[in-house]
A and B are shown apart, each in its own frame.
Chain A
Amino acid sequence: METARITGERISQYLSQGKRFDGRKPEDFRDIEIETGVSKRAEGSARVRIGKTEVIVGVKMDVMEPYPDSADRGNLIVSTELLPLSSERFESGPPRFPAIEIARLTDRAIRESKFIQMEKLCIKEGEKVWAVYIDIYSLNDDGNLMDAAEIGAVAALKTARMPKYDEETGKVLYGEFTEKKLPLQKEPPIMVTAYKIGNSWIVDPTLEEEDVSEAKVSIGATPDGVISSIQKGEAREIDIKEFEDVLDLTERVRKKVFKEIEKYSD
């Protein structure tokens, strides 16, 4: 069911006084819970809950030919499936735009921040490199799947271990893991998406709030404030001044989110 207009008007009215239905302030995230190692078969995995929103992310690895424009670096492939089991709104079939958007934005946040040290995933230049697959599935959609997906991807990468590789046969020995972790940078990119409702900006919307939002800005950046990816979404224009305020807002929120995530790091 879509959110009724009367609910939207109420959400907007409340927000003009800085209030939200669930008692949060505009800049508050819901509680974030991260569970890692949720799939024994995956090289790395994580389940992330933000309020009632939940995603599961798995990292699998394979050896393949590098892309021609990055002959000495590993490959990154991110995909997202919005499972019909996670919402009455999702249908099976090829990915539609919302799934593509989550996959592409997660891909860019991770790729552009150079979080994975791709140059260390080269086996033989131009011939064989490691490919890192990040597969994201929704388990329950109550808004903000975008940020949950990216946080899940980072958490799954952090736990990932390299599988064994037989150089002679050129085959990956699946199921046999080495002790070696995936080579990562210290600072993870974190995605924070700000949503505009009426004249207010919020983060981490519930599904109702997401429905009535008219513009959004997703920003992937490390906790020290270096931005690696941005995308403005939805068909409502925003002022330059407003955009600058969003940069400041997301920077404050990102620091808090990072602290929450850090709790789950080993």
Chain B
Amino acid sequence: MTAKTFKRPDGRKAEETRPMSAKVGVVPNADGSAMFSFGDTVAIAAVYGPRKMHPQHSQNPEKGTLRCNYNMLSFSVAERARPGPNRRSTEISKITEWALEPIVMIKKYPNMVVDVHIGILQANASTRCAGINAAALALAHAGIPMKELVSSVSIGKMDKTLVVDLVKEEEDWEEGEGSTDIPITLTNSGKITHLQLDGKITSAELKEVLKLAKKANREIYEVQKKALKESIKLN
């Protein structure tokens, strides 16, 4: 199969994301919360805090702690996922912390912790990206001081063709050079806070990937911004 013959299973254009939706304030108990979806990948995030860190020996007198927890609900995937943490979710939780911390003014909260809980309700790839997008919104909704937002998207290389916002079928694609999955999180000023890659790629191709990510991130940012504005109108 050559590059030109790769057709996206859902008929999207290469640079097109799935329909996105975002909503702020989905968990009334939380200090801040949001839902973000790429097509049928749906993530919710809830923020609790800032509050005193317990146990006391975990407190950091120099800055607050941003603590993220990514959790895939057992029924969010075709074959039931075993509930509870595993190596993958532990890694994604850490990656999410790293993706968000640069924009959160966590230094203002010594000895305190801000918890961000992310739940994946329905999965069709790009779950960590949807989770990060929801988490950024939830943090803003909680009123935690932030420098800006982050937006996250997965870029895929299908053999030689670059596409935006992978679905599961594309992730598992094996023709030619196969599928390379590159989830990227950028701040709105264009800095990288998160980048992972699995597959096969040259550094020249990777530079193209970053351009595409930047473009897609602007679209996601608009969706996030709109959701935040709407939440204010309602109150």
Interface of A toward B, CB cutoff 8 Å: 68-69, 95, 97, 100-101, 103-104, 108, 112-113, 217, 225-240, 243-244, 247-248, 251
Contact with A along B184-208 (1 / 0, CB 8 A): 0001001111111111111100110
When chains A and B are docked, how far (Å) is the Cα of A226 from the Cα of B200? Answer: 6
Q: Which of A217, A228, A235 contacts B200 (CB 8 A)?
A: A228
**For chain B residues 59-82, which have a beta carbon within 8 Å of chain A?**
66, 79
When chains A and B are docked, how far (Å) is the Cα of A97 from the Cα of B69? Answer: 13
Q: Would you call A225 and B202 a contact (CB within 8 A)?
A: yes
When chains A and B are docked, how far (Å) is the Cα of A148 from the Cα of B49? Answer: 39
A residues in contact with B79, CB < 8 Å: 68
B155 to chain A, nearest CB (A): 12
Given contacts A97-B90, A103-B87, contact A238 B191 (CB under 8 A): yes
Whose C-beta in chain A lies nearest to the C-beta of B177? A226
When chains A and B are docked, how far (Å) is the Cα of A247 from the Cα of B172? Answer: 26
Q: Would you call A240 and B203 a contact (CB within 8 A)?
A: no
B102 within 8 A of A: yes
Q: How many residues in B have their beta carbons less than 8 Å from beta carbons of A?
A: 34
Interface of B toward A, CB cutoff 8 Å: 66, 79, 87-88, 90-91, 94-95, 97-98, 101-103, 172, 182, 187, 190-203, 206-207, 210, 214
Given contacts A101-B91, A230-B196, A237-B103, list 19 more A-B pairs with CB under 8 A.
A68-B79, A97-B94, A100-B87, A104-B88, A112-B198, A112-B199, A113-B200, A217-B195, A227-B203, A227-B206, A229-B198, A230-B182, A231-B195, A233-B98, A235-B98, A237-B193, A240-B192, A247-B206, A251-B203
5 inter-chain pairs at a CB distance below 8 angstroms, sorted by A residue, are: A101-B94, A228-B198, A235-B102, A237-B191, A238-B192
B128 to chain A, nearest CB (A): 12
When chains A and B are docked, how far (Å) is the Cα of A235 from the Cα of B98? Answer: 4
When chains A and B are docked, how far (Å) is the Cα of A225 from the Cα of B66? Answer: 36
Q: Would you call A232 and B94 a contact (CB within 8 A)?
A: no
B200 to chain A, nearest CB (A): 6
When chains A and B are docked, how far (Å) is the Cα of A229 from the Cα of B180? Answer: 9
B residues in contact with A69, CB < 8 Å: 172
When chains A and B are docked, how far (Å) is the Cα of A231 from the Cα of B193? Answer: 11
Q: Would you call A232 and B199 a contact (CB within 8 A)?
A: no
